Amino acid sequence: MLLENKNAIIYGAGGSLGGGIAKTFATEGATVFLAGRTRDSLERVAKEIAEAGGQAEVAVLDALDEQAVDEHARAVVAQAGSIDVSFNLVTRGDVQGIRLVEMAVADLLRPVTTGLTANFITARAAARQMIQQGSGVILALDSGSAHASPMMGGTGPADGALDSFVRNLAMEIGPQGVRVLGIYTAGVPESLTPERLAAVNSEMVLDEAGLQGLIAQLDSMRMTRKSPTLPQVATTAAFLASDHAAAITGTFVNVTSGTFPG
């Protein structure tokens, strides 16, 4: 198993991506500490992990709350002995489907501020513990929209800020044995529902047929003509968090099925 005897904190673990990645980490042998704001969704993921023979703990907290994140990280170390993986998958409040010249300042800046702040707080909490251990992996995820994507609002600037943060943190703490890296992915079908799409783009009101049409359109934009699946993203994350990827840090791995090169 890729993550046997590893302890992993996953922020936003109640969401579709977070939950899927948490279950894959548990299958690969990790004890997963599920963190998020909604107990019901976290408990549901924890139950599925336990039923499959894995180990999961639940903590209700806000990734923007410095004190709560720091206290939780210390509690994980006290209980489990280490933090080996930290992965932030919290939502940022992105607003899309509006031209930049027509966008409100608050809508542009919200994902930038929320995304960078949450990733900084959680990464800092993990890094402080990992530096003492001399090992650990901090993971991040964004859509790669910093490469330029029209009508994505603050998503591109937010992704660019996170990209820069990951690379700079990796440079600073790499000598202490800690890796920092990320995954680019977007439009994962298992994470798309009409409700979630409407929350990001109020003009996108879809029924099931419309949703399938959107997925087909996204497929057509990929080099492979297939969108990345949740299992593909999750197994990539598990590999990157494992010792098999010990030479990979300070970069993002493109898991977009070729939406853009690089």
The enclosing domain of 149 has a CATH number of: 3.40.50.720
Name the percent of the chain lying above pLDDT 70. 99
User: What H or E segment, with its residue span, contains residue 212?
Assistant: helix 208-221
Residue with tokens 């299958």: 27
Structure tokens at 204: 């996108």
Give yes or no: residues 75 and 152 share one domain: yes
30: Cβ contacts below 8 Å, ≥ 6 apart: 3, 4, 6, 7, 8, 84, 85, 241
> Residue 155: how many CB atoms within 10 A of its CB?
25
Determine the pLDDT at residue 199. Answer: 76
Give the pLDDT of residue 202.
77
The per-residue pLDDT for range 147-191, each reduced to its tens digit, is 888 888 899 999 999 999 999 999 999 999 999 999 999 889 888
Residues 32 and 156 placed together within one structural domain of the fold = yes
Asked whether residue 260 is domain-assigned, the answer is no
| Mean pLDDT value across residues 55-76 | 98
Number of H helices, E strands in the chain: 8, 7
Residues 99 and 153: beta-carbon distance below 8 Å:
no
pLDDT tens-digit profile of 209-231?
887 887 888 889 899 999 999 99
Q: What is the pLDDT of residue 176?
A: 98
- State the amino acid at position 30 in one-letter form: A
**For residue 222, what are the domain limits?**
189-227
